[in-house]
Structures are given as structure tokens and as C-alpha cells.
Structure 1
């Protein structure tokens, strides 16, 4: 369920069909499909609509170098690896499971801190189980980093200006989203798409608060009926024109 957004937000809401129309415009005369697994019923997964939005943006931009903040069960990592070119590379980062507490308290459906604790606990217990079950073709495209994303040294890793698709879905506290976003722009190529999950979430309000402030002077879109917001950088900013 999406939270009620403040009237003053500068983030532009668009219908999913705007993206789908852009796909039709880019691939005229083609039936553009995608591979998706049955969504996990667990907390923290994405809906089928959100999955189609992510894949649509990957295909619209022709993404070949992708970075994901927040591996969790590996479902989104798998989705991106399955729906990008065979030579694409997906880098994903999450906390080392052995450094995460496997306990949690509170109402995980109403309290953001409790929800994050639950997600970390599930990751500590099970790891990226969707990714672990994937075939060799997927594993050959994926590089998994086990590290606190806020300690990521972009320059040391050789990640500066290396990615054309960056998905931010790690920790949901304001300072973590801010740090991951700052790193995302350092890692982005001139033409890239940066995406955030949990915008307009009833639980993780820090993501919405951060993005509403961050969006000042930028063209950031929120896809209605999802918790996905995104920004198209460089020449990609024209991809929705005429859709």
C-alpha cells in the first residue's frame, strides 16, 4: 500500500503505461517479453508490476552494467540477470550475513525499524536464496559483495562512472539512502538510470522524505501503484518523450 504523498512534492507521478508505451516506441513491431519468477510471499519482495517496471527500464536503457544496493533474497538480482544481455554484469551489495543479528522485535508490517530488523534477520538466516538457486548462466553475470554499503569506497572498487542502471533498495534510514544515492551518482555513467524502491511506502517513510527533498531541481518520476521512483540521466532523459 502506498502512503499519501505530500501535496508539495516535485516528483512527477506517471502511470505504468507511460513506460510500456516507451518500450513500444523503442521496439516497434516487436513483442517485448520478460522472464519473471513467481513473486515471493515474504516481506521485502517486489510485486509483479514493480518487476515489470524494473525490467522495462533496463530494456528501455539497454542496460549492460547494473548495480544493486540491497541483495536480500536475491530475487531482484535474479530478475535483472535474467532480463539483460548475455554479456551484462550485475553487481549487488548487502551486509555480511554473519555480522547481522538473527533476532527481531516489533510489528514488521507497521514499524520501519522492526521491518528492517526482520529483513536483516531473514538474510542472516537464509542468505540470497533466490540467487543461490539460480543456474550457472545467472551466476556468471553476478558479482556479490558482502559489505555495509555505507562503507563502500567507490574509487577503490573501480566503480566510478561504470554503471548504466543503479537500483537503491538497501537500508531505509534517511542517512543510508542519502549515502547510497550519493555513491550511485558517482558510479553512474553519463547516460544512466537511478532507481529507488520504497518511495511512498507506509513503513519506510525516510525514503519518501529523502527523495522529496532530493528531487528539488531534478526530474524524478514515481510510477503509480508501485513504490518505485527513478531518474533518467544524460541522453536517457529523452526516453520518455512522446510516450
Structure 2
């Protein structure tokens, strides 16, 4: 792990949610990485995707932590999985999501409710995934796909200690209810001694439970939210 990142995080004496700028992370990178190129596509405009700023946050933290094993909770259509497979030097990238089903969760779509109701929004995204699958993984190379492990399971009932030996980078973007986010976080901590946890949808107007959970967690931990993004993160074991 980059010593600059540790020093930056440990420079905040008190616990709480700390607002930082993307520039703060970029300034921690090694000078020789300044001209590094990344491979990505234009961010999808569909709901449930990551923005370009989110992508830079993820890739910057991946570079600073240099994980061997990455865990993503919430594959959806595979956009973030693809981003990591094409840019991270990690040995393996695990991505967990629910098994596909033919059961439709929403019969009549309510466009207004999608933007207001977190549970309804998650059901809508689940319906999209059941129809499309991991479309963003279809053109990965054979070598890139060898580094990806798709796990079809409920993350809240999965035995993390049996499934994963050790994780240094986790991206939590599955179910957005308070208890699910808490369960995913606690499960990740069972297999992470050192590394970073990144949560998506912090400060989201739809998935307010993510913000509520991290605000509660920040009472005893230092959580960092990157302004202009939906990403919040915490270093573990530093």
C-alpha cells in the first residue's frame, strides 16, 4: 500500500465522515504514474451505473493500495468488473451478485418511484440484470476473463471465509438497504486484514440507507467521501 495514502488518512485525528477532493487522492500517486493511461468506456446513462468520477476514484485507490485480490459486491451488468479487469494489476477479481431468475419483480414501471424509493430502484435494477446479464464482460479478452470470478449467490448468506482467502480491495454496491450494507461490510472485514473498502451510493438521494449506515459507522471510524462522486472509502489495518 502506498505510504502517502496511509499518511494522508492518519493525518485526520478524529473519527467521522471526511469530505475530500478527488485532487487529494490524485496527489498521493507516485510521480512516475502521472502519465499512466487507463482503459474505459463512456459511462452508461442508465440508472445504477458509476460515473466517470467514480471510475477515477476506484482506479486511483486500486493503484494506491495495489491489491492482489479484489471483491466486488453487486456485479449488475459488469461495467465496474470490466473497468477493474482492464486496469487493475490484481491477480483475481471476484464479483458477487444474485443468481439470475425468470421472475419479474416489477410488472408496471413507475419512473417517478424509481428515483425516490431505494428498494423499488433495486428491484428495477435486478429486472434489468435478469434480462441483460453481464453485457460489459462479453468482449473481454480470454486473459482478462481468466482473472474474473463471477459468484452467483446472496452476499448476506455467503460464507466469505470459505469463499475468499484474503481480500485487499472491496467495492460494495449490492443491495442498498441498511442491514444489507452492514452485512456486506461485516463480511468483508472477516477476510480483510489490510486494504480498502469502497462503498457506492454515499450521498445518493435514492439510496439514503448507505449514507445513514456509513454515518453511523463513522462514529468509530474514519470514512472519506470524495466530493463529486458517490464513493466513500475506509482504510483497514493501517
Mark yes or no: TM-score above 0.5. yes
May I ask how many residue pairs the two structures share in their alignment?
221
Question: Is 1:36 paired with 2:40?
Answer: yes
Unaligned runs of 5+ in 2: 1-14
Q: SS at the partner of 1:97?
A: coil
Q: SS at the partner of 1:22?
A: coil
CA-to-partner distance for each residue in 1:93-143, whole Å, 9 max, x for gaps?
001112653535432122212211110000111111111232212211100
Alignment CA distance shift 1:100-1:51 (3 Å): farther
Alignment CA distance shift 1:114-1:191 (3 Å): same
- Supply the distance in 2 between the matched residues of 1:84 and 1:234 (Cα, whole angstroms): 21
Displacement of 1:29 in angstroms is 6.8
- Of the candidates 122, 128, 132, which is equivalent to residue 128 of structure 2? 122
Displacement of 1:43 in angstroms is 0.9
Q: SS at the partner of 1:98?
A: coil
Task: Tell me which moved more, 71-80 or 96-105.
Answer: 96-105
Query: Could you say which residue in structure 2 is the equivalent of 1:22?
Result: 28
Q: SS at the partner of 1:180?
A: helix
- Supply the distance in 2 between the matched residues of 1:100 and 1:68 (Cα, whole angstroms): 24
Contact 1:193 1:231 in 2 (8 A): yes
Q: SS at the partner of 1:39?
A: coil
- Supply the distance in 2 between the matched residues of 1:211 and 1:30 (Cα, whole angstroms): 32
Contact 1:102 1:124 in 2 (8 A): no
Question: Is 1:215 paired with 2:235?
Answer: no
- Supply the distance in 2 between the matched residues of 1:192 and 1:228 (Cα, whole angstroms): 16
Q: SS at the partner of 1:92?
A: strand
Alignment of 1:66-77 (within 5 A): 66-77=70-81
Question: Is 1:172 paired with 2:189?
Answer: no
Query: Could you say which residue in structure 1 is the equivalent of 2:227?
Result: 224
Task: Tell me which moved more, 71-80 or 148-157.
Answer: 148-157
Alignment CA distance shift 1:218-1:125 (3 Å): same
Q: SS at the partner of 1:122?
A: helix
- Of the candidates 142, 152, 158, which is equivalent to residue 148 of structure 2? 142
Query: Could you say which residue in structure 2 is the equivalent of 1:196?
Result: 199
Alignment CA distance shift 1:99-1:211 (3 Å): farther
Query: Could you say which residue in structure 2 is the equivalent of 1:12?
Result: 18
Alignment CA distance shift 1:29-1:68 (3 Å): closer
- Supply the distance in 2 between the matched residues of 1:116 and 1:99 (Cα, whole angstroms): 16
TM-score normalised by L of structure 1 = 0.86
Displacement of 1:21 in angstroms is 0.4
Alignment CA distance shift 1:177-1:100 (3 Å): farther
Displacement of 1:10 in angstroms is 2.1
